[in-house]
Structure 1
Amino acid sequence: MTRLHVTVEGTLFATDKDLLMTHSEYFRALFQSGMRESTQDEIQLQILGAMGFLITLRVLGGERPILSGEEIVQAVECAAFLQVELLTKHLVNLINSDNCLVMYQAAATYGLLELFHTVALYIRDAYELLGEEVHCLPADLLEYVESLLPSTFVAVGAHTPTFEFLEDVSRTMCYLNENQNQWESLGCIPDDASTFLAGVTTLDNKVFIVGGARGASKQVVERSFCYDADSHSWSDFASPHQLRYEVALVGHEGYLYAIGGEFERVALDSIEKYCLSSHAWSFGKELPQAAAGPPCTKTMGRIFICLWKPQEATIIYEYDTLKDDWISLTSFKKMQSYGHFMVGHRDNLYVMRNGPSDDFLRCAIESFNLTTQQWTALPGQYVNSKGALFTAVTRADTVFTLNRALTLLYKVEDYTWTPIKEKAGFNRGGSLHTFFLRLPKKLELTAN
C-alpha cells in the first residue's frame, strides 16, 4: 500500500494512493500526468469539504453510511469533482423521499448526471406523496421531472402454454390505469412462454421471463423471453445452462441472476447470471442449500434471499455480486406457512407470510433493518375480507399489493404499513407476477 496524505479544509487524511487511483478519475489523471504533484506523497484539495472527502474514503473502504442533508451535498460535490463512480452508486442507493429533493438539486448544481436522472425518476414516482414540497424546486428542475414517464403497475397471471387455449386470458399482461381504476391490456406474452413457476423480473424498463413449466407434469420451458416496454415488442434470448423452473430471478446492474429453482422435481443450489451486454450466461457461487422458489428482493443496491432451515428457521442471506459470495445476515424462527415472500424498502427487508393454514386471510409481516440489524414485528395483521395478500412491490414509499378482488396501496412509515387507497383487483387465477414499467403514452393508446 502506498500511503498518501491529503489535506482538505485544514484536515489531514492518511489514505491509500492506489485506492484513490483505482476509483477516482481525478486522482488517476493527476498521478499519471507527470506533473510535480504526481510524485508527491502529500497534496491539498482546495475546493472540497472535509466531510465530503471523509465520506468518499468511507465508501471506498467498503462502508455504506446513511447520510444527512449537508453530508449528501458534500458527497455529491466530491463524487462529481473526483469522478468517483462507487460514491455515485452509493448515493443512488440512498435515494428516498426524505432526501430526494436535496439530492436532486445538488446533482444539478454539480453536474452529476447519472444521479440527476435517477433521482428525477424517483421524484416522478413519489410526486403525489411529496405534496407541495416538490413545487419548491426551481422551474427548470420541476419541468424535467414532469417530462418523465411515471412507473405503472403491471401484472401477469400464471400461464402455461397449451395448444387448446392459445387465447387463454392468462396470457394477457395488463397495466393498472390508476386514473380510470381499471386494468388495461398490454397484449399477450409469446405463445411458447410460460409464467407458471417462471422467474420474472424487470431491468432497464424490460420484463424478463426465465424458466417456467408446462402443465402439471412440470415440463421445463427451454426458452427465455424479454418484453421491451419502450418498443412494445417481445424477443427471446438464451436460457441458463441449467434449465430450471420455480426459479428466483433478479435484475441488477446489467445482469440477470437466476437463483435456485427445480429441474425434474429436484431442487437446485446453482445460480447463474446473464450479462445483457455480452448475451452470455455464467455460473456463480452455489446457494448455501438447494431451494425452489426462494423469496428474493433487492434494496439499497443489494440482493437478498430467504432460505429455510429445520426447526422452522428462516435465514436471510445477501448475495455479494462483486465477490460472488453468499453472506448470512440474520435468522429467525417462525411457523412456516403456504405464502412467503419478501420486499425491500430503504434499509428494511419485510418478510411476509399468509397463514398459518388455518387462517389464510391473515398476513403477518416482520421487518429486518439492515443498519441496526434488528427485527421488528409490524403491529396487527394485514387482513382483508376479499382475499389473501399474495404479492407486493414498492414504488417510492408506496407498497402495491394485489389479489383478485382489489389492489391495495399502503404507505410505509415508521415500521407500519398504512392503507391509503383501494384500486381494482386483477381477476386471474393462480399465482401472480407484479412489477413496474414506464409505459410510453403511445403504447397505452395502442393498448386501449
Structure 2
Amino acid sequence: MNAAVAEHNPNTAAGADANQNERGLLRFITAGSVDDGKSTLIGRLLFDSKGIFADQLDAISRAKHKRTVGDTVDLSLLTDGLEAEREQGITIDVAYRYFATPKRKFIIADTPGHEQYTRNMVTGASTADAVIILVDVSKVKLGDDGSVELLTQTKRHSTIAHLLQIEHVIVAVNKMDLVNYDETVYTRIVGAYQEFAQQLGLKDVHPIPLSALVGDNVVTESARMPWYKGPTLIELLESLSVYEDAHEEPLRFPVQLVARHNGHEANDFRGYMGRIEAGKVRKGDRISVLPGGQSATVKDILTLDGSLESARAGQSVTLLLDEYLDISRGDMLASAEQPPAALKAITADLCWLSEDTLDPRRKYWLKHTTKQVAARVSRVDTLLDINTQQRHPAETLKLNDIARVSLNLQQAIAADSYEAIRTTGAFILIDEVTHQTVAAGMIRLD
C-alpha cells in the first residue's frame, strides 16, 4: 500500500490563512412536522433559483404519484426519491440536494417530519450550519384567549437543533395562503415560537412568512404580504455568516489506518492515515497520542500530491512521526498544549432513536470518531420534557426521548465536550446484536 494514499480534499489548500475565514458553502436542513411542506419548499427553492435540469422537471411532471391539482408541478417529488415516499406522500429518508446562486453554494438536507423517523432528522442535522423549522399555519391551534399551541414535533426538532448547536434557526411560517396572508396569525405564531426559543436557549432566530406551494417569499418577494419588510428565504440563506471554527480549534486527528511498507524497502516506514477533524498541524509540531499519553514530533505530512509543510481541518493526510510508538486505529493524535481528556466514564445528552427501549443491563457499542468501545448506560440522570423544557427523573428511554445520562466505557476514549469541538464531542450507540444505531449522544464536561 502506498503510505501517502489518503483521501485528499482538492478544495483545501495547504498553508491557508490561519485567520478565521467565512465559508461560501452553507449546509442547512428543513425540519418540522408531517406535511408541513418541507419537500415542497426545497423543490420551490430549486425550481425558482434554476437549480433543476429540464429532464428532472419533465420527469416529475409525468410522475405517477402526483399530489397536486391540475397541471401544477409537484415540486416535492424532487426530494421524495423512495417509492414508499411517493406512495405515502411523506418523507422517510434524508435527501441531499445541491444548488448554487451567484452569491453562495448550498447543500440541503430534506429530513423527515414523522416522529418515527426522528433518527433520520438527527442524521441530517449533525453537520448543518442552519435549520429551517417549518410551521404549518393550518395546524397551529390559535385560542380565542390569545393562546398559541405549537406542535410537539416543532418543539422536538427545535430542541434537537439546540442540542446539536446549529448556529442559525429560520422559522418559516408556511402555507400563509391558507389564512389569506393574515399578518395577525403570523405575528401570534412567531411570538409563541420566540417565547419557546428563549426558554430553550436559541439565540439566532429569523422568522419569515411564506407559501412554498405558490412561491411567496421563497425566492421572490410576495406582493400579497406587503406588511412583511424582511428578506426572502434565499436572500436570508445567502446572508448567513458561517465561519470555519474548526481551523481555530486545537489539533484533533483520529487515526483511521496505520500504513506500512510491504517489507521489501530498505527504510522502515510507518504512517498514520486519517482526516484532520479540528485544528492545524505543521512539520515539527509536538503532538500527544491518546489515550496512551505518549508524545512525538511530526516529521512529515503526506498526501497524494506529495509532502506538505502544514495541513488543516478537513484535509485527509498521512502523518509521519519522529519515533515509533504503539499507535493503532482509534487512537487520537492531538495538540500537546491542548489535548482532549481520556475518559472511561462520560456524561452526555442522549437522543434515543430505537423502537426498543434502553436496557441499562445491556452492553452497547459506543462509536466515537474512529474508535469503537463497549459501553453501558449506568444511569439515566434526567429526562427532558420537550414541551416544558423541564427535566424529570427516569429509569429508561424510549423512542425519541432526550435525556442526560451517565455511561461507563470498557476502554478510555480521547474526547472533548460537544460545546468545545463537535466532532470529538459526539458519538453514537450501536446495538451489539442487531448492529442498529440506537442513540446519538453529545458529551458534556462540567
- Tell me whether the two structures share a fold, i.e. TM-score over 0.5: no
TM-score, normalization: structure 1? 0.23
Higher relative contact order (Cα pairs below 8 Å, separated by 6+ residues):
2
TM-score, normalization: structure 2? 0.24
